[in-house]
Structure 1
Amino acid sequence: MEKLTVAPVLKEVTPAVVNISVRGRRMQQNPLLDDPIFRRFFNAPGRRSVPIQGIGSGVIVDSDEGLVVTNHHVVNGAEEIVVTLQDRREFEATLVGSDPRTDVALLRIEADDLVALPPGDSDSLEVGDFVVAIGNPFGLGQTVTLGIVSALGRSGLGIVGGNEGYEDFIQTDASINRGNSGGALVDLDGQLVGINTAINSPSGGSVGIGFAVPTRMVTAVVDQLLEFGEVRRGVLGVVISNVSPDVAEGLGLDAATGAVVSQVMEGSPAQQADIRPYDVIVSVDGEAVDGAADLRNRVGLVRVGEEVVVALLREGERLEKTVAIGEGQFTAAAIGGTSDRFDGAEFRDIGPQHPLAGEVRGVEVMRVDPGSGPARGGPGAARPGPAAGGAAQEGTPRLI
């Protein structure tokens, strides 16, 4: 009987996975000074510089150039980054660039005889596929765990970049712990399909819910980090939200899919392409849009100046619009003259100083204009009060 094993695959890929150790300083909130009144009373700053010493993992993606992909949070604030190879050679790394909004960072080392694991096709993954997580948990050294793809396209978790983050995670039950961040998630063909990033755990240890950035996103970010040292994101210039069942019924849609446009920015690429409020965007370049977060992720990976074909539904008719992605000059401040006003409603973030901070996540609806879309229950439907729980994922208007 033939032995079932992933050893042949691992022999090819594990030399490309490295350990990372960092030293430096990072700004941190002083827990004794969370209360702004307390800070003012003692005339003390709320943040302070603290020394950091951390561990993580990385993946060599280009052996000729010595390029190593890891997580932004692994190297954030680092003054010294040391990469240790599987053969125990150590090299000081330089930071090529980092993107906190996807939690992807790119390093470079000067070394010979490197083994690379170029990014594969994460779009080929299906729920139930076997995957292997490789990294450096708790600084123990290279460790391999096996699991399956539990879910795809996880977003709205607030794991990276806060409200400005781009999340399209692969969820896996392969054991991921502290120190695995930046390590490889590979399929049974030895393809790199993700960069391990985070876990969802009340205890801080693995409970079978881990998340990895898909290589489709990693590749787009790395290309820009190499060229610019940063990611220059473009925009459509629209405010969007998910299509709820009520909105789908109100607009005469067959299904609650896609992303509904609540508002179009003056002079934006979307306006120039004749995209209008209440249009429902259903695909970009032929790929179906699952919702607002999915559309935001797709637009966020397109370079400024590139054209995309946007398919939309308008009053029962399917239309296609070619849009040249513009520079990220359109902000929430452009909407109705205030940073928190969207299509007839006014919002404020449930931030650290909000009475409900820590209890709910999202925004609070401050005011709804009579007769507006939110008041009628149309796109972006809203009522005064906290939009709690899944609001940031399901109902909060997002500018893209």
Structure 2
Amino acid sequence: MAFETNKLVGKAGRVAVPAGAAAALVLAAGMFVHHNGVHAAMIASPIASPAPMDDNSVSSLVALDNAVEAVAARVTPAVVNVAVTSRGSSESEHETGGDQEDGPQQGQSLPPGLQQFFGQLPPGMMQQRPQQPQLEHGIGSGIIISPDGYIVTNNHVVDGAVEMRVTLHDRRVLKAKLVGRDPLTDIAVIKVDAHDLPSIAWGDSTKLKPGQTVLAFGSPFGYFQFSVTRGIVSAVDRQNPYRDDARKPGGYIQTDAAINPGNSGGPLVNARGELVGINTFIISNGGSFAGAGFAIPSQMVRATAEQLIKTGAVHHGYLGISMNDVTPENASFFNLKEATGAIVTQVTPDSPAAQAGLKNGDVIDELNGQKVINGGALQVAVSEDTPGTQIALGIIRNGSSQTVNVKVGEYHKDAEVASNGESAGPQKGKLGLAVAELTPDVRQQLHIPSQVQGVAIQSVRPGSPADDASLAPGDVILEVDRHPVTSAEQFVNAAHANAAGKDLLLLVWSQGGASYRVVHPDAGNQSGM
């Protein structure tokens, strides 16, 4: 489960021994119980302490400690704590069921101090007070990127803020104003009225490699300001885990440097003390750090922050395609020698990609002459392009390489696609699914757009090859082995014609987007679907 790290999901456990208790423990150490009572212990002669380890034995560790201390001392003065007051929606309406026809409930329109003196009030006796939005308080982190007070943090830290206060490393507390925010990348820029502030240098996140040392800074749990943790880069180019909008760019840096609630918006730095990421969320079952923290790469942060400072808004480039990554499993279906690149699974009508002639099944392996590793890397790069920019995409179409020139368009949320993404009885066939014609009634029931052509999945047998490929009732199969299907009979014939034990490549429309799925048929069931 992904958690945004400005949410304080629990109280930090703090254990402290009062000074008096500590003294009592010291005195008790000098006593022992005898069968005749309590006696003072004999004070033994001092035991010789072991000699300290020589410098040569620990020189590497000492050098590492010195290096980490130097980086922390350089970065920490530029780290800030961000306290936000936001106006949230009232929860009481949800708790009482919202609109009720039975009149006010007990104490509903009375001041809290008077509620105990009144029982249930007759309906209509007192007029219900209008629900007032509640003020919510959140804590996050940030990093100063310029001496004149510009600070980068997460969008979800400042979303809905009516007041922001920034605590600097020198303990000054300053009011901050919002410069701009970008929900798509979860980046925001705020500013304080100050000068000659310590700031951080930008690093190049594209040069990060798994295993490199990184440090994470912030205010975990809101209590522990200006904390630093050390870890490594666990992985790069991690895909977007959110499901609210698949068009959000991926490319996240994964790290095992501890990131906890309150760390949102804090910096992730490399061994040179340069900003390579902004800490944003963790994957955890309990809401606290479990070894998998994620940061937005500085490549994206810098481009977004500079646009926000310059114009107050961000104009994201887009192509109008959905993509799958090339994998060893699906590469053979596209006559590819390497399992790298991005497969086009859907092209939005009248989009820049459609106008340039991109088609389903094209494999994008280059962008402006640079190798494309996967769909996430392509999406991040394109989203940073200014709308109107001309780019050259190297594609492989039916085994042949060619170049397609595309004029980048502008992303508009909820309008364009640009993502990295009769009841039948139990089925006994080799796929484990049943399909139905895509009739007008089925389209209406499943909310399938008119331009989507194929066959609807009616049911999926649990544990079947179709289930293993994440197919589900309501999905629409558009292609089988890169050939369009327009009827249930055509799909059944194509599936039956597939050689025993041979994988099937299906292009599937699901939840507004299309993606390729490789299905491993059950060789033991050659009859039915």
TM-score range, shorter chain: 0.7 to 0.9
Q: Aligned equivalents of 2:382 and 2:390: distance in 1?
A: 11
Paired residues of 1:242 and 1:395 also in contact (CA < 8 A): no
2:507 corresponds in structure 1 to 381
Structure 1 residue 235 corresponds to structure 2 residue 297: no
Instruction: Please list every run of 5 or more consecutive structure 2 residues that lacks an aligned counterpart in the other structure.
Output: 1-54, 103-130, 419-442, 458-469, 486-490, 495-502, 519-529
2:338 corresponds in structure 1 to 255
Paired residues of 1:362 and 1:392 also in contact (CA < 8 A): no
1:352 corresponds in structure 2 to none
Q: Aligned equivalents of 2:514 and 2:153: distance in 1?
A: 27
Q: Aligned equivalents of 1:230 and 1:277: distance in 2?
A: 32
TM-superposed deviation, 1:89: 0.9
TM-superposed deviation, 1:239: 3.4
Paired residues of 2:247 and 2:417 also in contact (CA < 8 A): no
2:371 corresponds in structure 1 to 288
TM-superposed deviation, 1:314: 1.6
Would the alpha carbon gap of residues 185 and 246 (structure 1) be closer, same or farther in structure 2, given more than 3 Å must change? closer
* Identity fraction in percent: 37
Would the alpha carbon gap of residues 158 and 345 (structure 1) be closer, same or farther in structure 2, given more than 3 Å must change? farther
One-letter identity of the residue aligned with 1:158: Y
TM-superposed deviation, 1:163: 2.6
| TM-score computed with the length of structure 1 as normaliser | 0.80
TM-superposed deviation, 1:342: 7.3
Structure 1 residue 367 corresponds to structure 2 residue 476: yes
TM-superposed deviation, 1:199: 1.1
Q: Aligned equivalents of 2:184 and 2:472: distance in 1?
A: 20
Partner SS for 1:218: helix
Q: Aligned equivalents of 2:479 and 2:245: distance in 1?
A: 31
143, 146, 163: which one aligns with 1:59: 143
Would the alpha carbon gap of residues 188 and 262 (structure 1) be closer, same or farther in structure 2, given more than 3 Å must change? closer
Paired residues of 1:68 and 1:108 also in contact (CA < 8 A): yes
Partner SS for 1:381: strand
1:10 corresponds in structure 2 to 72
Structure 1 residue 316 corresponds to structure 2 residue 442: no
Aligned positions of 1:60-79 closer than 5 A: 60-64=144-148, 66-79=149-162
Deviates more, 1:270-279 or 1:179-188: 270-279
2:44 corresponds in structure 1 to none
One-letter identity of the residue aligned with 1:13: V
TM-superposed deviation, 1:162: 3.5
179, 191, 194: which one aligns with 1:111: 194
Would the alpha carbon gap of residues 48 and 216 (structure 1) be closer, same or farther in structure 2, given more than 3 Å must change? farther
Bigger Rg, which one:
2
Q: Aligned equivalents of 2:101 and 2:182: distance in 1?
A: 35
Paired residues of 1:247 and 1:378 also in contact (CA < 8 A): no
1:298 corresponds in structure 2 to 381
Q: Which has the higher strand share?
A: 1
TM-superposed deviation, 1:262: 3.1
One-letter identity of the residue aligned with 1:118: A
Structure 1 residue 24 corresponds to structure 2 residue 76: no
Structure 1 residue 121 corresponds to structure 2 residue 204: yes
Instruction: Please list every run of 5 or more consecutive structure 1 residues that lacks an aligned counterpart in the other structure.
Output: 349-360
TM-superposed deviation, 1:242: 3.1
TM-superposed deviation, 1:33: 7.3
Q: How large is the Cα RMSD of the aligned pairs?
A: 3.7
Q: Aligned equivalents of 2:326 and 2:92: distance in 1?
A: 41
Structure 1 residue 145 corresponds to structure 2 residue 229: yes
Q: Aligned equivalents of 1:325 and 1:206: distance in 2?
A: 39
May I ask how many residue pairs the two structures share in their alignment?
370
Partner SS for 2:507: coil
Deviates more, 1:67-76 or 1:234-243: 234-243
Would the alpha carbon gap of residues 71 and 363 (structure 1) be closer, same or farther in structure 2, given more than 3 Å must change? farther
